[in-house]
Structure 1
Amino acid sequence: MKKLFIISSGQKAKSLKTLALFLGAVLAVNLVASFLYFRLDLTSDSRFTLSQVTKDKLKQVKDVVYVKVYLDGDMPIAFKKMKRSVKEMLDELSAYSGGNLQYEFVNPAAEGGKKQNALYEELYKKGLRPVNVQEKNAEGGINQRTLFPGAIVSYNGYEIGINLLTSNSRVNPEEAITIGVQNLEYSFISAIDMIMKKELPKIAFIQGHDELDALHAQGALQVLSERFNIDSVSIRGRMGALDGFSTAIIAKPLKKWSEADKLVLDQYIMRGGKVAWFIDAVTVNDDSLATGEVTFGLVNEHNLDDQLFKYGVRINPTVLQDAQSILIPVNMAVPGAQPQFVPSPWYYYPLLNAPDDNIITKNLNVVYSKYPSSIDTVGVGHDIKKTVLLGTSQYAREIQAPVMVSLAQVTRKFKPGDFNRAWAPVAMLLEGQFTSAFQNRMVPGVVANGKPLVGKSNPTKMVVVADGDIIRNDVTRRADGVMPYPLGFDKYMNQQFGNKDFLLNVISYLNDDTGLMQIRNREMVIRMLDKSKIYTQRSLWIAINTAIPMLLLVVFGVVFIMLRKRRYAR
């Protein structure tokens, strides 16, 4: 006999009361949530959690920041994933900016023809680097596309371009995209911070000691001019000549510094000024090699050694050779025969490694150098923290100046035993409180400004690089004039190296007083697919992904039917 279940009026009232309480609670939670802003990130590597410095910067956004991302249209799957990551990051930034950050994705190849070419040229002039990608099509052929994985950030009539994909010959394309995704927060917030500044930091390019001319420094100036105000400054012994500048750059001086100029620079450092030193310890004239002759590397008498020694480093008067180097075309034909140029390693042009354990060089491409020297640290004090930024490979060697340099050296067989100077440091970061190089010294010829000499600096930092060519661009002479190559571009290998990014990161770090660059230390765990298993175990994984869901569905159905029968059989 079947049982009848009758719901009393009391039970109905109780059920309605429970429902009303539930709905009231939901409404109350939504009301409170509308006033309290919070976001939950359940990922193990906190990939959707912005750093506190980013949140603080976004609170300062008072007007619309507009971001155009040129990452749309028909793209390989890896770039589509990158687009999704960019969108997620921009959504996070927009949420913390109170809606003042707006964005759109643009397909630069949408219109084709002349309009497309004009847009490509415009993006290139704004600093976005094109990337050529190849992908197999359904017919087995190769499709080649030009992408601009970058963005233009606009604010109050000002624009700044950012590249979301850094070229790095040390990693494969998928890893390069992963690195780009890791750097998204820093790429966007550093551009937003820079474009919002009412006054850009002032950088002094010191002149007067035969430093780089405007033509050979054009690549460096172009890289820095978007984010800094650049001025050329001749010291001329005037105390205070560098006042108002946040950083001074010493770019490959070939003439002797006077003691008066050194004192002015020293007191600038003592009062908290930052300096990027790009110094040649040995000078080599490459022009003689173009005719096949021998040239010599001679010690550069720049008169800065004692000052650098006082600050904690010594640039050795040597030339480094490295098996990890540029290939240059060398004529291997016998005299009188048809020229036969063969790419050969030129050990005097090392490709320097950038360690991944600091925020300046993390994920940086190798850096192109010419006749670099090694750096030693000196002094045992604890006031200065010293960090290696660039170094040679495992197979390097060091030659004391004077050095004879000849193209005939490319014919010598590589012998690992000869290259016994492994991991020689070429660039060093120094941070702390420095002792004046002019403590208890009198220097004639200084135009004083009434300020007393300081013997111990405020906490500050400097970068010392034992190769001025790292920020020197090559030039090419054509019928229409002399044209500079981009900084870090090798005309022989037709390849772009990491010199631009290194210079920008160095100057940005020296000017970073808010901890913004600490964001570059962020790590995201990207779980890449094992390509070998994809090809060797493809059928197995297809079967597993097809059969297991169906099997689970059958098991669930059987269990459900058995439980149902068991319940209603009573």
Structure 2
Amino acid sequence: MERKKLKRWQIGQLVASVLIFVLIAFISSRLYFRIDLTEDKRFTINPSTEETIKKLEDVVFFKVYLEGDLPSDFVELKRAVLDLLNGFRAIAPMKIEFDFVNPSEDPDPGNRRLVYEDLMRKGMRPYTIRTETKDGVVQKYVFPSLTVSYRERQIHVNLFSNNSDNPNIPIEQSINEAKERLEYTVLNAIKNVTVLTPKSVAFLEGWGGLERIETYDAAVSLSEMYEVGYLDLQEQVFSLVDTIQGPIFDAIIIAKPYQKISDKNKYIIDQYIMHGGKVLWLLDYIDVNMDSLSNSRTTTAMPLGRELNLDDMLFKYGVRINPNIIQDLQAAPIPVNTALAGAEPQFNPVPWVYFPVIIPSGNTPITRLVGKIRLEFPSTIDTIGTGTKIDKTIILTTSEYSRAVSTPSLVDLNIINQRPNPNAFKAYPLPVAVLLEGEFESLFKNRIVDEIAKNPIFRYREISKPTSMIVVSDGDIIKNYYSRLDQNKVPYPLGADKWFKDIYYNGNREFVLNAVNYLIGDYDLMKLRGRKLKLRLLDRGKVVKEQANWKIINVVFPPAIVIILGLLFSYFRHRKYTRA
């Protein structure tokens, strides 16, 4: 009897253990939780993201195109996406749904091609993987992309940045950058798909300066968050301010004007600011012809400020861009022929003091975790007193080994052959970008006739609503270079060097995006974009050298442990019952 009871008790214990295990497995499959012990908190969702997820009114559905036979690097990216979406679903279980699909699932090559073409038409960029086999080179397409749907709206998102197809960038780096940007990318997509009236940004044009192809990358990057367009004011009074609703655009960008801005257009911009509009001023106050250097090795830096007709306007708002040119020992290189006379040309990178490389301090939200920024012929900026209280914050400065040279002045390429004297440059960091916040006084105060000032149609204001603007003394900070392919212009990513393909200044794009985010008030996007993850790569040489040993260990060691434990258990059991 005792044995039967003991046996029933043991069976009951076994059944109870199995039931408990099944119950725990079921609960764990329904509940999602995690403890983030990583140094960079890569698995912790930002509070602002969490708040956005909680406020969702309806279901957001994600279709992720990372499924199937993926390379190991993309498996990591898929795992990161799955982890993030699971985290979102834990916050709002009824509002987040997702599905992972394989765009290469169809065995028929023709059907697969149709699927690829459809995805590419929607703006999703494939990553091409080329593998050499005995039959030749095989191409495989992976789409690191997703589609976000909300009610009747749908948008398509690329997880890789615009420069990820650069062959000089390792796939590991592209994957890591995608993981760094992942929460930012997905949150931005959620905001775009759930907001009925997206915020808008306009590039003002009509005064020469940068071509549209030269602001292409910035415009495309901004279009992932806002509606972006180009506008020529043409002295139309209501170009920027609606007579009823106020500013038509949430922010405007004035990028490197080269010709005079008329007083009428200044009035339009001024009243846009008075009604709370935000402005990103990217201005060149010095004109230098780089083409002359390639021919004669010398050119002249000429002041351009008076021709732009903006001095009085900027002065009124609290800044002055000086008619000088900065030289900095912390500089970007240009290609210089270092071969002897008569020999075959040999171009090598040589630092060019007129192209400062700015390393942002990170003391402001705009520059936090922003990478290196490349400038071209910038000038210094002074802050000055104003009739109203304006908070002025210097957000970008040169290195401490820099100096300002008055213009007109000679720009001589032969300066690269001279060893620079650090003592001649040892001044102090020079300001090149300033943030202005507050209530601005109109440039046209006491200058407008009563017929306009008192006419409600014009909505004239002498003191602005609380607003902000950013002034940068270099219009090229937003410029991307481009190459020519037949008759077409192909833009480079913003920050890619014109001459050296392995040099990339990612801070240019980051700064422009952060500046616009800050002006418009999208502070949560800035924080997420600045997220950095440490790239912990395996030593590939060591992997190849020791992979056989580790395979043997992984195959032999686990069963060996089980066998040893079984023998020990059998030994002690035998010993116990032998004594008994």
TM band (smaller chain): 0.7 to 0.9
Match of 1:42 in 2: 35
Partner amino acid, structure 1, of 2:335: P
Paired residues for 1:59-458 under 5 Å: 60=56, 62=58, 65-69=61-65, 73=69, 75=71, 77-93=72-88, 96=92, 98-104=95-101, 106=103, 123=120, 126=123, 128=125, 150-155=144-149, 156=152, 158-164=154-160, 177-226=175-224, 227-234=226-233, 236=235, 238=237, 241-242=240-241, 243-301=247-305, 302-332=308-338, 337=342, 340-345=345-350, 346-355=352-361, 360-361=366-367, 364-378=370-384, 384=391, 386=393, 388=395, 390-393=396-399, 395-420=401-426, 424-430=430-436, 432-438=437-443, 441-443=446-448, 450=456, 451-458=459-466
State the distance in 2 between where 1:536 and 1:393 align. 44
Superposed displacement of residue 453, structure 1: 1.8
Over 3 Å counting, the alpha-carbon distance change for 1:469 and 1:123 in structure 2 is farther
Say whether residues 1:480 and 2:487 are aligned partners.
yes
Normalising by structure 2, what TM-score?
Answer: 0.72
State the distance in 1 between where 2:111 and 2:331 align. 40
Give the match's secondary structure for 1:230: strand
Over 3 Å counting, the alpha-carbon distance change for 1:182 and 1:215 in structure 2 is closer
State the distance in 2 between where 1:121 and 1:441 align. 59
Give the match's secondary structure for 1:515: helix
Decide whether the 8 Å contact of 1:391 with 1:423 is kept in 2: yes
Over 3 Å counting, the alpha-carbon distance change for 1:414 and 1:218 in structure 2 is same
Decide whether the 8 Å contact of 1:368 with 1:497 is kept in 2: yes
Partner amino acid, structure 2, of 1:234: L
Partner amino acid, structure 2, of 1:508: N
Superposed displacement of residue 344, structure 1: 3.4
Say whether residues 1:490 and 2:497 are aligned partners.
yes
Give the match's secondary structure for 1:185: helix
Superposed displacement of residue 544, structure 1: 11
State the distance in 2 between where 1:421 and 1:146 align. 55
Over 3 Å counting, the alpha-carbon distance change for 1:100 and 1:292 in structure 2 is same
* Pairs aligned (count): 551
Partner amino acid, structure 2, of 1:246: D
State the distance in 2 between where 1:563 and 1:198 align. 72
Partner amino acid, structure 2, of 1:41: R
Decide whether the 8 Å contact of 2:324 with 2:406 is kept in 1: yes
Identity %: 27
Over 3 Å counting, the alpha-carbon distance change for 1:340 and 1:119 in structure 2 is farther
Give the match's secondary structure for 2:178: helix
State the distance in 1 between where 2:329 and 2:364 align. 25
Give the match's secondary structure for 2:185: helix
Partner amino acid, structure 1, of 2:378: P
Superposed displacement of residue 262, structure 1: 3.6
Partner amino acid, structure 2, of 1:249: I
Partner amino acid, structure 2, of 1:329: P
Superposed displacement of residue 276, structure 1: 1.0
Over 3 Å counting, the alpha-carbon distance change for 1:518 and 1:532 in structure 2 is same
2:520 to 507, 511, 517: 511
Deviations, residues 117-164 of structure 1 (Å, cap 9, x unaligned): 99599859937486889x9x99xxxx9999867424354575444343
116-125 or 224-233, which deviates more: 116-125
Give the match's secondary structure for 2:447: coil
Decide whether the 8 Å contact of 2:286 with 2:323 is kept in 1: yes
Give the match's secondary structure for 2:254: strand
Decide whether the 8 Å contact of 2:286 with 2:324 is kept in 1: yes
Deviations, residues 191-231 of structure 1 (Å, cap 9, x unaligned): 23224433332222223443434344444434434531314
Segments of 5+ residues of structure 2 without an aligned counterpart are: 242-246
Superposed displacement of residue 235, structure 1: 6.3
Over 3 Å counting, the alpha-carbon distance change for 1:158 and 1:473 in structure 2 is same
Decide whether the 8 Å contact of 1:329 with 1:342 is kept in 2: yes
State the distance in 1 between where 2:79 and 2:423 align. 50
State the distance in 2 between where 1:470 and 1:350 align. 11
Segments of 5+ residues of structure 1 without an aligned counterpart are: none
State the distance in 1 between where 2:139 and 2:564 align. 46
Over 3 Å counting, the alpha-carbon distance change for 1:28 and 1:114 in structure 2 is closer
Over 3 Å counting, the alpha-carbon distance change for 1:264 and 1:94 in structure 2 is same
State the distance in 2 between where 1:394 and 1:541 align. 51
Over 3 Å counting, the alpha-carbon distance change for 1:215 and 1:521 in structure 2 is closer
Decide whether the 8 Å contact of 1:260 with 1:443 is kept in 2: no
Superposed displacement of residue 534, structure 1: 8.6
Partner amino acid, structure 1, of 2:353: Y
Superposed displacement of residue 533, structure 1: 9.7
551-560 or 370-379, which deviates more: 551-560
121-130 or 514-523, which deviates more: 121-130
Over 3 Å counting, the alpha-carbon distance change for 1:39 and 1:352 in structure 2 is same
98-107 or 242-251, which deviates more: 98-107
Q: What is the aligned-residue RMSD (CA, Å)? A: 5.4
Over 3 Å counting, the alpha-carbon distance change for 1:383 and 1:359 in structure 2 is same
State the distance in 2 between where 1:129 and 1:363 align. 29
State the distance in 2 between where 1:463 and 1:192 align. 28
Superposed displacement of residue 275, structure 1: 1.1
